[in-house]
């Protein structure tokens, strides 16, 4: 349990530091085209080889980490914020408020999330901001149901009754007493959802509906590798490996936290 948590934190910390200091670590410009270095295999000059335009793959993967991690964290932050607010209101007030919010959650859950995201991106157009917003606005339902269940249990406790007796407002009770005591399982869920958001972004970019070139992301690096799969294995291996390692890191953190909560 402790080992998996430490391993997950180490992986994500290393990737985050690489993304933050990409300008220092990367040996080349991520958009620099070199017609004399097309599809060079991994070497000391190009640690992960080059792509079809002669761009250094190691550089593009490090800069792509900035995009993929940012989208994952911000999108899940949006989803968590919406889910916590709606779930808390639903659980605290109950009655018709709870019924209305939960029916809306049920309606949202009826749509396959990825296909809903695909449809919305196709309508509004692909961009980094749009992808963050769309993933966030279509991924909050699980968080809402989770915190609602916690609030339903907590609002019957003695300390909530005491807060009501001394005249605390409903808003204060929700923000100061209920949410802080219900946030632990939500935190675990949030960590695990970051991995899912990164995978969704990579899938969208792979389909051409995500981050658009020349901005590098792990997904659009993979799509560029499709035409050279048989002759340039490194274009598929390294971005796929980074996606795998990142998702593994967040899952290890989430599982470690889940067992400690």
Does CATH place domain 2-25+57-154+183-260 in 1.10.3720? Answer: yes
Question: Phi then psi for 152, rounded to 5 degrees?
Answer: -60, -35
pLDDT tens for residues 182-221? Answer: 888 888 888 888 888 888 888 888 777 777 777 888 888 8
Which is nearest to 54 in space by CA: 257, 228, 254?
228
Segments making up each domain of the chain, as ranges: 2-25+57-154+183-260
Asked if residue 228 lies in contact with residue 235, where contact means CB atoms within 8 angstroms, the answer is yes
Q: What is the pLDDT of residues 41-94, one digit of tens each?
A: 888 888 888 888 888 899 999 998 888 888 889 999 999 999 999 999 998 887
pTM summary value: 0.86
CA dihedral 114, 116, 135, 87 (to 10 degrees): -110
Long-range Cβ contacts of 47-52 (<8 Å, 24+ apart) = 48/234, 48/238, 49/232, 49/234, 49/235, 51/221, 51/224, 51/225, 51/232, 51/235, 52/224, 52/227, 52/228, 52/232
């Amino acid at each position: 349990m402790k080992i998996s948590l430490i391993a997950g934190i180490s992986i994500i910390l290393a990737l985050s530091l690489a993304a933050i200091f990409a300008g220092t670590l990367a040996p080349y410009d991520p958009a620099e085209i070199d017609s004399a270095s097309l599809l060079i295999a991994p070497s000391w000059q190009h640690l992960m080889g080059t792509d079809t335009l002669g761009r250094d793959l190691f550089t593009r993967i490090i800069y792509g980490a900035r995009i993929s991690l940012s989208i994952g964290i911000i999108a899940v932050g949006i989803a968590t914020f919406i889910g916590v607010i709606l779930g808390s209101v639903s659980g605290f007030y109950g009655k018709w408020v709870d019924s209305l919010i939960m029916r809306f959650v049920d309606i949202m859950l009826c749509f396959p999330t990825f296909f809903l995201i695909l449809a919305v991106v196709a309508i509004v157009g692909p961009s980094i901001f749009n992808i963050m917003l769309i993933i966030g606005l279509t991924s909050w339902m699980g968080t809402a149901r989770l915190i609602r269940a916690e609030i339903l249990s907590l609002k019957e406790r003695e300390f909530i009754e005491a807060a009501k007796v001394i005249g605390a407002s409903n808003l204060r009770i929700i923000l100061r007493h209920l949410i802080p005591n219900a946030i632990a399982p939500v935190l675990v869920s949030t960590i695990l959802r970051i991995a899912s958001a990164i995978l969704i972004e990579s899938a969208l970019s792979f389909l051409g509906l995500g981050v658009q070139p020349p901005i590098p992301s792990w997904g659009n690096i993979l799509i560029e590798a499709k035409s050279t799969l048989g002759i340039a294995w490194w274009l598929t291996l390294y971005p796929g490996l980074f996606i795998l390692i990142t998702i593994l890191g967040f899952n290890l953190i989430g599982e470690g936290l889940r067992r400690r909560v």
